[in-house]
């Protein structure tokens, strides 16, 4: 399980969720933040001139590099508002999967007053005049931010800008004489190179851990990180390390701690850092006061799986991103993109999965024309789409709403049985029972036979089957005909576009 929201939340509650690793390298900041302040820039020089060959003694001790760079690393303490239900007691912290019980004597009996708690993360100076890089999730909900430096000073900070899509943020403290470090871009780290992470795990500021780069260009999945290929490192990263730096053996920042993989919430030796190249580009824009904008098509996509290609009768090596939903009135809808289209290239660049499509569209500017190569009904064609501006992550996430089944709803009608699924035509009663939006059409799964392949997929009652092998399904007979046609063509299964509470998705139902 990937953990984010890495804060230390209240003495009584213990420590919250985790995130981890960091960024690195050499950067020349624009305008007033450039060379006049370089007197304080920490620029370690490789002893032998080789970019990544460790200097003598490096594997046995990291003390010298820690002494050099640790003054630029800070602890970030934040005050976060929390929602408290009527009547006091436990309350929910946004983004956390558990309730928070305030310490004895805290919170009082006045439920009208806003409740707060404390969180902590890490960060590092990237300019002499007080700009600090951290993670977005460290400061996103903060009402107050304080920075604790290695020399014991505590300074108030203000938020300059943040980018939830890459989990990066920039804050600033007032002053003009801070030690700072730079992002490394030219000497790219290799798998197996030494790394050092410095930060504030569990509130223990100024902590150093060492390890190696375990992997590069790691796609950790999820909607929270669609634009980042992470560095994977095995240097211990724990709660509170979020937003801190990962250095190479020469003291150059190569990553920004952002997430850990952990079944327990603690470090198991798998951490993820936002690479320096991404961190420099985003934080440079934030420092200039710019808003991070990305291109937008208005489609919900997923990677075309090999079994989905087989179900559609496509060649075995077919790759791309399958369109599962098209936003009404969006750029893709206006250009004629349809549900079931498979995008195989953007402006001549091959697309092999949904991540590549997301990043290539995101790299475009609003108003740019994108040429999409698609497969539709097995035939290739080209569609030109004028990109829009991508809405904020909050706006995108707010567009999908799930519903709970009410116990008093009418019972589901019976219907045909297709491949172990009880199927019923759409009706007002089923829309009410399963909270199906008015614009969603298809047939409804009302029951699944135990031991069937549909049961093996975990398909619950209430799922709406909208399309089968890219053909609209408006009745149980439509689905039966699609299954019969697929079997007649000796297909191993059938590709279904289904509507679940969290949106459209494509699944392959294998035949027995």
Instruction: Show which residues are catalytic.
Output: 137, 167, 242
437 within 8 A of 400, measured Cβ to Cβ: no
Instruction: Extract the tokens encoding 490.
Output: 């000796």
Which positions ≥6 away from 116 have C-beta within 8 Å? Answer: 79, 80, 81, 82, 143
Scanning 306-409, the segments in alpha helix (DSSP H) are 306-311, 331-335, 354-362, 393-397
Measured CA to CA, the distance from residue 468 to residue 480 in angstroms comes to 10
Any idea which residue has 């300074």 for tokens?
155
Measured CA to CA, the distance from residue 299 to residue 338 in angstroms comes to 9
Which is nearest to 25 in space by CA: 204, 211, 294, 283?
A: 283
User: How many other C-beta atoms are found inside a 10 Å radius of the C-beta of residue 15?
Assistant: 21
Compute φ and ψ for 38, nearest 5 degrees: -65, -10
Instruction: To the nearest 10°, report the CA torsion of 321, 326, 331, 336.
Output: 80
User: How many other C-beta atoms are found inside a 10 Å radius of the C-beta of residue 127?
Assistant: 23
Burial class (CB in 10 A: 0-12, 13-18, 19+), 484: exposed
Instruction: Extract the tokens encoding 316.
Output: 């075995």
158 within 8 A of 172, measured Cβ to Cβ: yes
Measured CA to CA, the distance from residue 329 to residue 311 in angstroms comes to 30
239 within 8 A of 265, measured Cβ to Cβ: yes
- Distance spanning both ends of the chain, measured CA to CA: 32
Which positions ≥6 away from 239 have C-beta within 8 Å? Answer: 6, 7, 8, 15, 16, 17, 18, 19, 201, 202, 265, 266
119 within 8 A of 78, measured Cβ to Cβ: yes
Identify the helix (H) or strand (E) that includes residue 137: helix 136-139
Q: Which residues of 188-208 are buried (b: 16+ CB within 10 A; e: fewer)?
A: bbeeebbbbbbbbbbeebbbb
Instruction: Extract the tokens encoding 35.
Output: 């060379």
The DSSP symbol for 59 reads: G
Q: Determine the 3-state secondary structure of 143 from DSSP.
A: strand
Angle at alpha carbon of residue 226, lines to 170 and 120, rounded to 5°: 40
């Amino acid at each position: 399980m990937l953990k984010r929201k890495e804060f230390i939340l209240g003495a009584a509650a213990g420590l919250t969720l985790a995130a981890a690793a960091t960024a690195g390298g050499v950067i020349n900041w624009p305008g007033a933040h450039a060379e006049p302040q370089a007197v304080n820039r920490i620029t370690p020089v490789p002893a032998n001139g080789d970019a990544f060959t460790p200097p003598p003694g490096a594997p046995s001790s990291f003390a010298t590099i820690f002494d050099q760079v640790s003054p630029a690393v800070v602890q970030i303490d934040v005050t976060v508002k929390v929602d408290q239900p009527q009547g006091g007691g436990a309350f929910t912290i946004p983004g956390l999967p558990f309730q928070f019980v305030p310490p004895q004597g805290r919170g009082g009996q006045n439920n009208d007053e806003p409740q707060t708690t404390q969180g902590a993360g890490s960060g590092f100076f990237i300019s002499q005049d007080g700009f600090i890089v951290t993670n977005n999730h460290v400061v996103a909900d903060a009402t107050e931010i304080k920075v604790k430096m290695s020399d014991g000073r505590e300074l108030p900070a203000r938020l300059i800008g943040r980018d939830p899509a890459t989990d990066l943020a920039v804050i600033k403290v007032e002053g003009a004489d801070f030690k700072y470090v730079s992002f490394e871009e030219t000497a790219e780290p290799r798998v197996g190179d030494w790394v050092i992470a410095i930060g504030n795990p569990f509130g223990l500021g100024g902590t150093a851990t060492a390890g190696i780069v375990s992997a590069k260009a790691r796609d950790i999945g999820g909607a929270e990180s669609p634009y980042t290929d992470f560095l994977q490192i095995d240097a211990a990263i724990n709660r509170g390390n979020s937003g801190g730096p990962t250095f190479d053996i020469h003291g150059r920042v190569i990553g920004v701690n952002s997430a850990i993989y952990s079944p327990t919430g603690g470090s198991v030796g798998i951490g993820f850092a936002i690479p320096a190249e991404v961190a420099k580009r985003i934080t440079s824009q934030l420092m200039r006061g710019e808003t991070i904008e990305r291109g937008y098509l208005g489609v919900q996509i997923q990677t075309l799986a090999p079994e989905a290609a087989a179900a559609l009768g496509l060649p075995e090596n077919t790759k791309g991103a399958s369109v599962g939903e098209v936003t009404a009135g969006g750029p893709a809808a206006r250009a004629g993109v349809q549900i079931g289209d498979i995008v195989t290239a953007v402006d001549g660049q091959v697309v092999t999965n949904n991540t590549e499509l997301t990043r290539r569209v995101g790299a475009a500017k609003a108003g740019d024309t994108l040429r999409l190569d698609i497969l539709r009904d097995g035939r290739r064609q080209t569609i030109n789409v004028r990109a829009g501006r991508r809405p904020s992550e909050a706006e995108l996430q707010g567009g999908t709403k799930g519903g709970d089944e009410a116990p008093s709803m009418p019972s589901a009608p019976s219907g045909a049985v297709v491949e172990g699924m009880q199927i019923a035509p759409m009706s007002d009663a089923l829309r009410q029972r399963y909270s199906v939006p008015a614009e969603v059409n298809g047939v409804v799964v009302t029951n699944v036979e135990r031991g069937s392949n549909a049961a093996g997929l975990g398909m619950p009652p209430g799922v709406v089957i909208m399309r089968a092998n890219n053909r609209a399904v408006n009745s149980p007979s439509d689905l039966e005909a699609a299954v019969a046609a697929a079997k007649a063509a000796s297909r191993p299964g059938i590709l279904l576009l289904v509507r679940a509470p969290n949106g459209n998705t494509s699944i392959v139902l294998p035949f027995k």
